Chain A
Amino acid sequence: MAVTVRIPTPLQEFTQQQDAVEIAGADVKEVLANLDSQFAGIGQRLYDEEGKLRRFVNIYVNQEDIRFLQGEGTAVSDGDEVSIVPAIAGGL
């Protein structure tokens, strides 16, 4: 089971500048854990010290925010797209 994880610009330093990577996993939690073991360091930008997803990072499965699905337990299937969407503030 592999999904495409979309990496936002601020996190591409962890993925050798790749903007999308193929990651295995049955649900979002597993996908993000596998992402971190493949690209060390990215996990601490997604999770806080207590292991909770940071509130300024949103995770989408296809077009939907996982907060409105089953959270990290949201199941994924082959070909799904998981997007990491952090807040960015640039304007000037």
Chain B
Amino acid sequence: MSKTGRDLLDAARGDVPEITAEEVKHTVDSGAEVALIDVREPDEFRGGYLPGAEHVSRGFLELKIEQVVPDRTTPIVAYCAGGVRSLLAGQVLQSMGYQNVKSMAGGYGKWKDLGFPVQVDKQMSAEQLNRYSRHFLLSQIGEKGQAKLLDAKVVLIGAGGLGSPTGLYLTAMGVGNIGIVDLDVVDMSNLQRQIVHTNDRVGTSKVESAAATLTALNPDVNVIAHEERLNRDNALDILKDYDVIVNGADNFPTRYLVNDAAVFLGKPIVDASIFKFEGQATVYHPAVGGPCYRCLYPEPPPPGMVPSCQDAGVLGALCGTMGSIQATETAKLIVGFGEPLIGKLLMYDALKSQFRTLKIRRDPACPVCGDSPSITELIDYEFFCGLTEAPAGAAANGH
């Protein structure tokens, strides 16, 4: 015997207890554990939702709820626009074994009428909704996470082997503001791995070439050109406006400079380095208790002791592997999903197709981020790395 919509609704009302908007507010304000699940359609959610609510459309409920609420004993309050669909959704949740499910009577409409606070995310255009639709399907990102990416400010140190793939993926993912620091021009020998540049741009500025590619890929992204070499005079000023620093420098002085400046500014570095067929990646973030570059390598190698890629070579696609890891770690830091590579050194051996992870720790005796730091301002990094005979004087600017 077929049932009417009314029959199904009556049955749901019998199964799923209701809770008033006032009671929900009280529960949330008390800090009691509760999962607020908004079961409306995406465009309704976009118009505003209860602060702290997770969006799981009724159509995706069975498929996504276990990611959002893994524990079947967590109390759930489901709501929709008027309190009808959430009853039907509540019934589904009960049948999946959720033990404490309630439906908010009157739904979002009632909540709003009572003048309770609502949250409205950044409004996205139709094009953005389409462009980032695969991110919206990931419960760890969703529209909230995408909004964070669009608001984020990330700076790339170098538009070279690592900066190219990292910049391309950050752009494709919709990181809204991307700074690029580089003074070089595109050389034919770069194109084997620096995939942000093209053949017809040989001889032109790397920053301009990268900006042209990135802007063509995603018009949402604002590219900020820093056509200069990072040094002790400009580093703090350039880096201070960014949320995350992505390091793809090809030399030790810049790596120590970026590290020290990031420690002083309290900002994370998503770091990678490459050599022949081998890559290393980690996230330095002393502000949250992780180590810095100097905790791992207190002193640089003497000049000539460690050969450079220019001398020893590097596999083009290795840059893509390590750059993609940097882009992934950057997105994790901005959105706040997964476990960032803080305190872990990821090593990739392309010849053996092997990844390994080593633990790295904050060194309490670290001269920059340790308990009693001896370095409290930027120093002469060329001298520190043994590349010049004597430290540049305090007045020696702009060389």
Q: Could you tell me which A residues sit within 8 Å of B by CB distance?
A: 8-10, 19, 45, 54-56, 58, 60, 63-65, 67-68, 83, 85-92
Contacts and interface: CB of A to CB of B under 8 A. Distances in A.
Contacts of A83: 356, 358
Contacts, number: 101
16 contacts: A54-B301, A56-B298, A65-B360, A67-B363, A87-B300, A88-B306, A89-B249, A90-B274, A91-B247, A91-B248, A91-B250, A91-B272, A91-B274, A92-B160, A92-B184, A92-B194
Interface in B154-196: 157-158, 160-163, 184, 190, 194
A90 B297 contact: no
B309 A90 contact: yes
Nearest to B298: A55
Contacts of B299: 54-56
B248 A8 contact: no
Contacts of A45: 305
A85 B358 contact: yes
Given A87-B300, A91-B162, A9 B360 contact: no
B186 to A, nearest CB: 11
A90 B247 CA distance: 10
A89 B296 contact: no
A87 B278 contact: no
A92 B248 contact: yes
Nearest to A9: B278
Interface stretch (B9-17, B228-236, B346-354): B346-354
A60 B358 contact: yes
B251 interface: yes
Interface of B: 157-158, 160-163, 184, 190, 194, 247-252, 255, 272-278, 280, 296-301, 305-309, 312, 314, 345, 347, 349, 351-352, 356-361, 363
By CB atoms of chain B within 10 A, which of A8, A63, A91 has the most? A91
A90 B277 CA distance: 11
A64 B277 CA distance: 24
Given A9-B277, A92-B249, 6 more contacts: A19-B352, A56-B305, A87-B297, A89-B251, A90-B161, A91-B162
A89 B162 CA distance: 12
A56 B161 CA distance: 23
Given A87-B306, A91-B160, A58 B275 contact: no
Contact of A86 (B157, B306, B356): B306
A85 B347 contact: yes
A85 B345 contact: yes
* The 3 residue pairs across chains A and B that have the minimum distance between CB atoms: A92-B160, A92-B250, A55-B299
Contacts of B345: 85
A84 B116 CA distance: 59
B278 A65 contact: no
A82 B299 CA distance: 21
Contact of A89 (B273, B276, B298, B359): B273
Contact of A63 (B278, B357, B363): B357
B284 to A, nearest CB: 13
A54 B160 CA distance: 29
A55 B351 contact: no
Nearest to B252: A89
B275 A56 contact: no
